[in-house]
Amino acid sequence: MSRIALTGTASYLGGRVLRRLVDARGADAVVAVDIAAPPTTLHGVRHRMVDLTLPGADQRLVDVFGEERVDAVFHSAFFTTPRRDAAYAHELESIGTLHLAAAAAAAGVRLLVLRSFTAVYGARGQNPNFLTEERRPDATSRLAWVRDKIEAEEHAFSFSRRYPGLGVTVLRFATLMGPGLHTFYTRIFSKRVVPVILGYDPLVQILHPDDALAAVDAALATGPCGVVNVVPRGTMTLLTALHLSDKLTVAVPHVLAYPVAEMWWGSGLGEAPGGFIDYARFLFVADGEKAQRELGFAPRYSSREALMAYLEYRYPETARRAKEQTERERREAKAREAQA
């Protein structure tokens, strides 16, 4: 019997995918390939310790894949939160994926599913409102965080081209936000005062983790599809999201915001480097049509519902108020309609 290998099982998404696969196919159908052990609540899950940043990781992975008879790999060992240690992030994300793709190709793995981010398109003023998969990712981004993800995708595709037996699906997830998730943007959402960029209010997409899991399921079941955007229904503006979460926003002119954010990050206080200011200025909304067409994936949550689910978990009081406000607004709209 062949198994599915998972990396990054100590992370939120990887851990939840592991749990879901164990529930669906049994503990023997999966193997966690990670430097850290999977959560102790998962009994009987096979765990093989591999450090993707080590020089011999590829050979070790070939052995592991062979011994475990691995047939598909879900690779989610990526940093959602930018790290100050950019060199380590590069080793793990870009070089780690190079090792993994090489090993997968050599071990005759059929399908490699890669976790990626819609943020790789880059938030730029020139973006169309909906970025399709044909859009080239922003390889000249000033964020090492983005460049590492793009390099990882390219490594996977280059091995897929050289070894036609290896199929690759890259799932570019929109910004994840949901119960239990802690990343740099949920940390920004848990501050009382949030800086925003003066005169900009871009559209954002917020993806519920349940939808992300469903997409991973679909991708593992379907086979290679290339790049696929996994996005929620609908969009919302950044300020709407912040005000629904009862944040006090302080508008900063963008000319000032870049250097200040960079200094803030450099001094060890900031949550993210200055390059992320782009993502608060311009939209990077992706189009989910291909996921619908090729994976049969339809998101259950809209951006707004995903945000509300997060708020209900993190700030029940705020969520209740926001819900009441929505109801009031709906009632008013209905009354207006009745008048008209």
Partner 1 sequence: MRGEGKVVSITAPRGARRAEGRPAAAPPRRRRAPSPEETALRQRLSDLEREIAASRTAQEHEGLLVTLARVVHAGARGLSWASLARLQRAIYFAWHSEETDEFGADQRFAETLEPVLDFLYAVWWRVEAAGTEHVPSDGPGLIVANHSGVLPYDGLMVQLAVRHEHPAKRVCRMLALDMFALLPALAPILSKSGSVRANPENAERLLRQGELLGVFPEGVKGVGKFFRERYRLARFGRGGFVRIALRTGSPIIPCAVVGAEEIHPVIGKADWIGRPIGLPYFPVTPTFPWLGPLGIVPLPTKWSIDFGDPIDLEGHGAEDADDPILVNRMSEKVRSTIQRMVDGRLARRRSVWFG
Residue ranges in 265-324 that form contacts with partner 1 under rule CB under 8 A: 282, 304, 321, 324
Q: Do residues 33 and 48 touch, judged by C-beta distance below 8 A? A: yes
In the complex, minimum distance from the CB of residue 170 to partner 1, in angstroms, rounded to a whole number: 21
Instruction: Tally DSSP H helices, then E strands, for the chain.
Output: 13, 13
- Does 243 bind partner 1 (CB under 8 A)? Our answer is yes
- Does 262 bind partner 1 (CB under 8 A)? Our answer is no
DSSP H/E element including 207: strand 206-207
Residue 98 corresponds to which tokens in the numbers above? 């190079």
- Give the sign of the dihedral formed by CA 35, CA 143, CA 258, CA 124: negative
In the complex, minimum distance from the CB of residue 316 to partner 1, in angstroms, rounded to a whole number: 14
Size of the site for partner 1 (CB under 8 A): 37
Residue ranges in 164-193 that form contacts with partner 1 under rule CB under 8 A: 192-193
Residue placing its CB nearer to partner 1 in the complex, 115 or 247: 247
- Adjacent-strand bridge partners of 168: 112
| Binder among 104, 156, 212, 244 for partner 1 (CB under 8 A) | 244
In the complex, minimum distance from the CB of residue 322 to partner 1, in angstroms, rounded to a whole number: 8
DSSP letters for 34-68: ESSPPPTTSTT-EEEE--TTSTTHHHHHHHHHHHT
- Does 83 bind partner 1 (CB under 8 A)? Our answer is no
What backbone torsions phi and psi does residue 236 show, to the nearest 5 degrees?
-145, 160
CA distances from 17 to 13, 54, 197, 292 (A): 6, 25, 35, 20
Q: Do residues 284 and 123 touch, judged by C-beta distance below 8 A? A: yes
In the complex, minimum distance from the CB of residue 268 to partner 1, in angstroms, rounded to a whole number: 24
Residue ranges in 101-130 that form contacts with partner 1 under rule CB under 8 A: 125-130
- Site stretch for partner 1 (CB under 8 A), options 40-48, 50-58, 182-190, 194-202: 194-202
CA distances from 288 to 10, 294, 333 (A): 28, 10, 30
In the complex, minimum distance from the CB of residue 310 to partner 1, in angstroms, rounded to a whole number: 16
Residue ranges in 207-236 that form contacts with partner 1 under rule CB under 8 A: 234-236
In the complex, minimum distance from the CB of residue 282 to partner 1, in angstroms, rounded to a whole number: 8
Please name the amino acid found at residue 303. Answer: S
In the complex, minimum distance from the CB of residue 329 to partner 1, in angstroms, rounded to a whole number: 6
State the residues that interact with partner 1 by CB under 8 A. 125-130, 132, 192-193, 197-201, 203, 234-237, 239-240, 243-244, 246-249, 253-254, 282, 304, 321, 324-326, 328-329
